[in-house]
């Protein structure tokens, strides 16, 4: 069995791993790299050799950094099955359609404004026309159902608790007369979070582990503090008759904020006030949640009471530009959830233009914001910022709610991986910036795994039936690949 590491290696984006086993070529995820434009263009146009000959893609979930390069795979000739859970199909359809529109818009803009005379035209990675034929390749596999890929190879999806439909993958095969198992964690969610069930317990030890390490050297704030922090922000807006702006991811974070607001209304912690979701993608993903109530945890199932989950909030879903503009006629108190969390693009910018110079309006950030972004500048308390085409004096209030990450932290990951923390396990630590991955690899060694490596992009590892290849792990991590 051979693994080729093709993305999210020593970085947190572009998840992609090629497994060659018993004559099959199986791709685990095919995600888009998100980062510097030139690096992104190079990595997003690259695929492992001869993708038309791949036998299957197993997709863990619908985030862009896990599914966003699937149309590139299609354009390269791939026509095989793409296995995913039913809910992941719904989320991925929305995410990929939005991504295709962005690819087209960016190419058109760069050709119109950013191309020097004589330069080759910029072409989109893919367009909206690529999405319907791609979606026809999607094949649904429910959680817990073992699916045979042929040649003695099978896989099972288990609930990862990360976003709606997310799964970790256990791959099984026989090699050298012995039964073998590989676990690909993809992204593992936190425990005790709203809406979704906790990550399904790992069924048992595995021989090979490919694990995320997004927060491999970090601890999150307790989940128990999230609700009180959000409620305090809502009460501030009510007391001051002001607008509460929540820049949020369209997938996952928007629905979590709505869940808390519905809970507060249900238990009479807050009165009904206008609540808006101003994100076309956020609106669509919210409706996908309504299509999959079987994904909910017990508390959320009871809260929904057989209705659509967010009926009780009286929320207004803004889809069109006119819907969005009408929101600004509501002075407050109100809650406006809009994309994006970095405040670099999306409809949140138009609401910020109105609120940033109002002393009583409040911007509530829901986690870490990357350096160099408008959101980070507001979060850090800069007194003057540029929004779209002009500068503004920052007079509004800002707060941050910690603990809302959809990724498990290092201790939660060790809790999840406990059944395979033994000397027989070889771990490959991916989907983390290098310091996070290296630290988590060391933690795995300390917890009992036999070997842990931090693979480099485009490196390979051979197992069981072949001699080891060159070790690409940091010198502090023992073992050879």
Q: State percent of the chain over pLDDT 90.
A: 78
For 371, phi then psi, to 5°, come to -60, 150
| Average confidence score pLDDT of the chain | 91
Residue 13 included in any domain: yes
Q: Helix 434-447 crosses helix 410-417 at what angle (to 10 degrees)?
A: 40
Give the C-alpha separation, 380 to 384, whole Å: 11
CATH classification of the domain holding 347: 3.40.50.10890
308 and 431 together in one domain: no
163 and 240 together in one domain: no
pLDDT on residue 343: 92
Q: Helix 226-240 crosses helix 253-266 at what angle (to 10 degrees)?
A: 70
pLDDT on residue 114: 60
Predicted TM-score (pTM) of the model is 0.91
230 and 120 together in one domain: no
Task: Assign 91 to helix, strand or coil.
Answer: helix
Chain centroid offset of residue 23 CA? 31
Residue 472 included in any domain: no
Is the omega angle on the peptide bond into residue 333 within 30 degrees of 0, that is, cis?
A: yes
Confidence at 464, pLDDT banded by 50, 70, 90: low
What's the mean pLDDT in 157-170? 98
Pair of tokens at residue 93: 């359809």
373 and 418 together in one domain: no
214 and 227 together in one domain: no
Pair of tokens at residue 404: 């809302």
442 and 355 together in one domain: no
User: Which tens digits make up the pLDDT trace of 317-373?
Assistant: 999 999 999 998 998 899 999 988 899 888 999 999 999 999 999 999 998 787 888
297 and 211 together in one domain: no
CA-to-CA separations, 312 to 251, 258, 283, in angstroms, rounded: 20, 10, 16
Q: How many structural domains is the chain composed of?
A: 2
pLDDT on residue 466: 43
Position 481 pLDDT exceeds 70: no
193 and 335 together in one domain: no
User: Which tens digits make up the pLDDT trace of 44-71?
Assistant: 999 988 899 999 999 999 999 999 999 9
395 and 449 together in one domain: no
Position 113 pLDDT exceeds 90: no
Confidence at 115, pLDDT banded by 50, 70, 90: low
Q: Which residues pair with 5 in a beta bridge?
A: 17
pLDDT on residue 468: 36
**Are residues 347 and 339 in contact, defined by beta-carbon separation less than 8 angstroms?**
yes
DSSP state of 428: E
112 and 136 together in one domain: yes
Give the C-alpha separation, 427 to 201, whole Å: 18
- DSSP H or E segment with residue 233: helix 226-240
What's the mean pLDDT in 456-463? 82
CA-to-CA separations, 424 to 77, 336, 362, 428, 479, in angstroms, rounded: 38, 50, 52, 13, 12
Chain centroid offset of residue 416 CA? 18
What's the mean pLDDT in 99-108? 85
Q: Helix 280-291 crosses helix 253-266 at what angle (to 10 degrees)?
A: 70
pLDDT on residue 479: 34
Residue 474 included in any domain: no
* Domain end among 363, 385, 400: 400
pLDDT on residue 261: 95
Which residue's entry shows tokens 């820049």?
247
Q: How many CB atoms lie within 10 A of CB 465?
A: 10
Of 102-116, 153-167, 382-396, 428-442, the one with minimum mean pLDDT is: 102-116
* Domain end among 351, 380, 400: 400
- DSSP H or E segment with residue 154: strand 153-159
* Domain end among 400, 426, 444: 400
454 and 382 together in one domain: no
Domain of 354 in residue numbering reads as: 223-400
Residue 80 included in any domain: yes
CATH classification of the domain holding 214: 3.60.15.10
Give the C-alpha separation, 291 to 91, whole Å: 11
Residue 330 included in any domain: yes
Is the omega angle on the peptide bond into residue 230 within 30 degrees of 0, that is, cis?
A: no
164 and 305 together in one domain: no
Residue 469 included in any domain: no
Shortest CA distance to 460 belongs to which of 450, 452, 468?
468
Give the C-alpha separation, 227 to 340, whole Å: 21
């Amino acid at each position: 069995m051979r693994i080729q590491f093709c993305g999210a290696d020593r970085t947190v984006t572009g998840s992609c791993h090629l497994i060659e086993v018993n004559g099959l070529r199986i791709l685990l995820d095919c995600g888009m790299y998100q980062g510097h434009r030139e690096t992104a263009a190079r990595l997003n146009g690259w695929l492992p050799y001869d993708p038309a000959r791949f036998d299957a893609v197993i997709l863990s979930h619908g985030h862009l950094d896990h599914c966003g390069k699937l149309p590139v795979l299609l354009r390269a000739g791939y026509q095989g099955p793409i296995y995913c859970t039913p809910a992941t199909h719904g989320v991925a359809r929305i995410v990929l359609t939005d991504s295709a529109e962005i690819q087209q818009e960016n190419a058109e803009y760069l050709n119109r404004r950013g191309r020097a005379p004589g330069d080759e035209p910029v072409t989109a990675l893919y367009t909206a026309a690529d999405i319907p034929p791609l979606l026809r390749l999607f094949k649904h596999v429910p959680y817990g159902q073992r699916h045979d890929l042929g040649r003695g190879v099978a896989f099972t999806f288990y609930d990862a608790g990360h976003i709606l439909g997310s799964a970790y993958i256990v791959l099984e095969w026989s090699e050298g007369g012995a039964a073998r198992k590989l676990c690909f964690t993809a992204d593992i969610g936190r425990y005790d979070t709203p809406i979704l069930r906790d990550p399904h317990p790992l069924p048992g030890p595995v021989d090979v582990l490919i694990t995320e390490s997004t927060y491999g050297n970090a601890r999150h704030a307790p989940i128990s503090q999230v609700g009180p922090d959000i409620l305090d922000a809502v009460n501030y807006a009510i007391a001051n008759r002001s607008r509460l702006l929540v820049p949020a991811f369209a997938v996952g974070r928007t629905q979590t904020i709505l869940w808390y607001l519905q809970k507060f209304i249900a238990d009479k912690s807050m009165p009904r006030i206008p609540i808006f979701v101003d994100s076309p993608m956020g609106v669509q993903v919210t409706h996908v949640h309504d299509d999959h109530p079987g994904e909910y945890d017990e508390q959320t199932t009871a809260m929904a009471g057989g209705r659509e989950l967010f009926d009780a909030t009286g929320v207004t879903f803004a889809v069109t530009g006119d819907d969005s503009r009408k929101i600004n006629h509501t002075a407050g108190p109100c809650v406006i959830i809009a994309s994006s969390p970095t405040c670099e693009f999306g409809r949140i910018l138009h609401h910020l233009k109105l609120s940033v110079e109002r002393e009583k309006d409040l911007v509530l950030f829901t986690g870490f914001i990357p350096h160099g972004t408008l959101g980070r500048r507001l979060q850090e308390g800069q007194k003057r910022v540029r929004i779209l085409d002009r500068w503004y004096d920052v007079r509004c209030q800002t707060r941050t709610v910690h603990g809302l990450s959809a990724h498990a932290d290092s201790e939660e990951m060790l809790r999840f991986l406990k059944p395979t923390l033994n000397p027989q396990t070889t771990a490959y630590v991916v989907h983390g910036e290098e310091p996070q991955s290296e630290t988590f690899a060391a933690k795995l060694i300390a917890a009992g795994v036999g070997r842990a490596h931090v693979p480099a992009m485009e490196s390979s590892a051979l197992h069981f039936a072949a001699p080891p290849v060159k070790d690409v792990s940091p010198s502090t991590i023992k073992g050879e690949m």
